[in-house]
A and B are shown apart, each in its own frame.
Chain A
Amino acid sequence: MNYATPISELEHPAPPPAAAKAETASFRSISKQYRLDAVTVDALNDVTCALPLGETTFVVGPSGSGKTTFLNILGLIDRPSAGRLVLLGEDVTDLTDSEAADFRSRHIGFIFQSFNLIPVLSLRENVELPLLRHMRSSRARRQRASHYLDAVGLADMMERRPGETSGGQRQRAAIARALVTEPDIVIADEPTANLDTGTSSEIVALLDRMKSTFNTSVVICTHNIDLIQPESALIQITDGRLVNGGPN
């Protein structure tokens, strides 16, 4: 287990472009408050950290610590209440809804705990789906989706619907879907929570392999510390605060 100390230099905003390029993401004093009835909940509190480029970063912490909020803000599906977020050298804090969608489409892939495949589409069609925003030719989309499904070991079950496959197979398809647009960042929120131990290790290994193959930064949120690879970066969050974080 290797918990890195906080990166002090990131506490100061506006790093030089060269430094920004070396980072996938830079959280700068990010806070997030939710209103739960009459109570304000601090999901993230003044989090400042950086995620390394082209590496796997594990985000860990107990339930309710703010891991998912961290990933949601990183994935531009939630907005911070305060602070700045820089992704791939671009300040994305104030993007509009449509601009954020475009950014996600170009740069971010998601893997969900419950796979979240579209049930009425085959595995191949599910993988094709994100390509709708990138490729006009259906033939090209189909070829590319097939290639990625082949890469995750699902070449022989592309035409099956998610309901006809196992949890591990669905998560493999979800990984293919996350990677098919060749994003710079893949965000995986508890990707192994619904899988058995053997399949979980297999999925993490696959993600690591895909990271190397497609040169992608992978951010995995998990509460299963056995999955964490020694050479990976680690972000530890407790009660919305960054306990440890940064490249190993």
Chain B
Amino acid sequence: MVWTIAFRNLIKNGRRSIMTMLAIAIGGFAALLFGGFVTSIWFGVQTSMIQDQGNLQVYRKGFLQFGAADPEAYTIVDWRRAAETIGAIETIRDDIVVITPKLDLGGIAGNVAASSNKTFFGTGVVAADIDRMRQWDGWRIDQPGLASGLSDNRGNGVVVGVGMARMLGICGPLEIAECTDPPRLTRGTVTGEADTVAPLVEGDGDLSALRSGGPADSLPRLNLLAATTTGLPNIARVVVETAQSQAQRAVDNAFVMMHFDQAGELLYGDSRQATALLIQIRSPDRAEFVKAEISKTLAAAGLDLEVYHFTEVDPTFSRIFGMFSFLFAVVSIVLAIVIVFTIVNTVSMSVIERVREIGTIRALGFRKGFVTRLFLAESALIGLFGAVLALIGAIAAATLINAMGVQWTPPSNAAPLTVQLMVLQNPALTLAVVAALAAVAVVAALVPTRRAARLNIVESLHHA
């Protein structure tokens, strides 16, 4: 009966009910779409980072705290043994997709042809493993990553950041969009030749090879100078296969990715040591279990290694998600305030119009609580219908926007992500928003409803 009265009163005051529902629906619509965007960040950014770094990373104990000062002292001495130990753990065998080493190094990159050089921060990786990792789609959001750009059949191939390519004057031969060589390279040439490799070749016997042979020979070359572990300088002559933008300018200006063996030879003369092992697992939900199993096994094997979740190594994701979550909370609070005022106004109007009805109900022997329930039910229905409208609208809008293929580049990414507003893909958030709308509607109605329940019966009955 309470719900019957509430529902029929909504129908009776149709226009007012619709306006209130629309206010709730618009608020809910905005919250759901923004929530869907935050959800897409949650999945999209994590997917990008897992494609790059794996879910888990194994380091020598103390590396994250002290390794930057003395990387040699904190490298994994025999990464193959560690990888085999991890790969042999029965309980997580089906979870692991990739275990691959990486080796970080730094040095100076020089382009003899352009007489330019630049410090670099390099990473040695197993190209096939990285390419496999970049296909990871643990949340099924269909967001494949870029291939590494390293060819399996060219051991001295490297990929550099676009900023690095620009500074070393190799944009022209790489044919990278939005990458131009420094002006000095075009000095003394005729207009239109700046994008060719001709000026680079002049006066450099080594680079004459760039013009001969197949496509590989048309690629620019760099000299990478690094200090070996014994302190002696070591030089590798590498072929730049392509340039890829990196998320941060400082990284982009110094980034060099090379084959793991190449990096090992440059630093150690072999490839036994690694800075870290990257571990990618099939289901992100199993990350904690897998981490615990690996930690246990490594400790039992007497290996001086530690396992970290990628968010522990790189706080970028947590910060990005934290920022958007905070924004979502602020927006939600603002929307909730608007909804509260709308509901308060609607219920107050309803109370004013039904003072005599309230007096009658009380005179018939109903307690104050019944009157409260009566108006709260009405408010809850408005909230619920508004929430359903919001949900339908948000699903429709999300479907439309997702189909448009709008792209944006999150702070952690070099490549843009396609906006996928995930309204239904995060049922917990969607349900929470819908429930919050109904709850806000009910809470907002408490004050006018309480006032209604406390009305003097005699005065109510004589209300005009």
**Chain A residues near B (Cβ < 8 Å):** 72, 75, 77-78, 97-98, 101-106, 108, 110, 112, 114, 116, 118-121, 125, 128-130, 132-133, 177, 181
Contact = CB atoms under 8 A, between A and B. Distances in A.
A77 B364 contact: no
Contacts of B4: 121, 125
A107 B374 CA distance: 23
Interface residues of B, number: 23
Contacts of A77: 362-363, 457-458, 461
Nearest to A73: B458
A118 B357 contact: yes
Given A78-B458, A105-B365, 15 more contacts: A77-B363, A78-B457, A101-B365, A101-B366, A101-B367, A103-B365, A104-B364, A104-B365, A110-B364, A118-B360, A119-B357, A120-B8, A128-B1, A132-B366, A177-B364
Nearest to A104: B365
B367 A118 contact: no
A218 B126 CA distance: 97
Contact of A105 (B5, B364, B461): B364
Contacts of A129: 1, 361, 364
Q: 10 tightest CB-CB pairs across the interface, nearest first?
A: A105-B365, A120-B8, A104-B365, A116-B360, A77-B457, A101-B367, A130-B364, A110-B363, A78-B458, A72-B458
Contacts of A116: 356-357, 359-360, 461
Contact of B461 (A112, A128, A181): A112
B441 to A, nearest CB: 20
A6 to B, nearest CB: 26
Interface in B90-107: none
10 contacts: A75-B363, A77-B461, A78-B458, A97-B367, A101-B365, A116-B356, A118-B357, A120-B12, A130-B365, A132-B366
B367 to A, nearest CB: 5
B245 to A, nearest CB: 64
A71 to B, nearest CB: 10
Contacts, number: 69
Interface centre among B5, B11, B361, B458 (most CB of A within 10 A): B458
B362 A125 contact: no
B464 to A, nearest CB: 10
A227 to B, nearest CB: 22
A102 B365 CA distance: 6
Contact of B368 (A97, A121, A181): A97
Interface string B373-405: 000000000000000000000000000000000
B248 interface: no
A120 B366 contact: no
A103 B4 CA distance: 26
A16 to B, nearest CB: 29
Contacts of A119: 12, 357
A133 B367 CA distance: 10
Nearest to A121: B5
B360 to A, nearest CB: 4
A104 B9 CA distance: 26
Contacts of A133: 365-366
Contacts of B5: 118, 120-121
A81 B12 CA distance: 40
A204 B4 CA distance: 32
Interface in B1-31: 1, 4-5, 8-9, 11-12
A132 B1 CA distance: 8
Interface centre among A75, A98, A101 (most CB of B within 10 A): A101
Contacts of B12: 119-120
A125 B363 contact: no
Contacts of B362: 77, 101
Nearest to A110: B363
Nearest to B2: A132
A143 to B, nearest CB: 15
B286 to A, nearest CB: 50
B365 A108 contact: yes
